[in-house]
Amino acid sequence: MEFELKLPEWLNRINSRAADITHNSIEERAGFVINLSHLNIEHGTGGPFGAAIFDINSGSLVSAGTNMVVPMGCSIAHAEMIAIMLAQKKLGTYRLPGPSKYQLVSSCQPCAMCMGAIPWSGVGSLVCSGREEDAKAIGFDEGDKPSDWIEKYEARNIEVIIDVLRSEACQVLRDYSKKNSQTY
């Protein structure tokens, strides 16, 4: 049995030119992933979540992912998981190299599954726009997560920055909800 990760064509184009995409500020990076989540809704290619891995120092994009749970029929096809898989594949490693070299930027705080994968991914920094309660407000089940998850990440030397462009991320979630789109 084989499993093929087939990205939407528009997302594949972004990833194919990742080396040419640079966002130096955290706000620019958050805006980029929020736009990914918006494009995912606009193209009808998945849920209202986007994520990307950036080189912390240069600001260059390593990989971009979107939520593709419904179109792939795969519960683990979350934006963060896609971005991590693509970055590791691109760099030829199962763990992103170097302490504090890579940053995962997500349009929303990670669900329980993604939260578990992040420490093993090798990222040294996590930036989130929307909050767990924002996703729950439109019907998404984020799973059981410890209330002190930020402290637990920081104890593992993973920097956590939250609420970057939160209102913009929440607008995408509301737009998705207005379309009576599927939540899970």
* Paired tokens of 3: 């499993």
28 is catalytic: no
* Nearest residue to 78 (alpha-carbon basis) of 36, 110, 55, 104: 110
Burial class for 75, CB neighbours closer than 10 Å (0-12, 13-18, 19+): exposed
Given 80, 132, 142, 168, which residue is catalytic? 80
CB 50 within 8 A of CB 37: yes
Q: Helices 112-121 and 79-91, interaxial angle, to 10°? A: 20
Segment holding 127, helix H or strand E: strand 125-130
Q: Helices marked H in the chain — which ranges?
A: 9-16, 26-42, 69-72, 79-91, 112-121, 132-137, 149-155, 166-178
Known catalytic residues are: 80
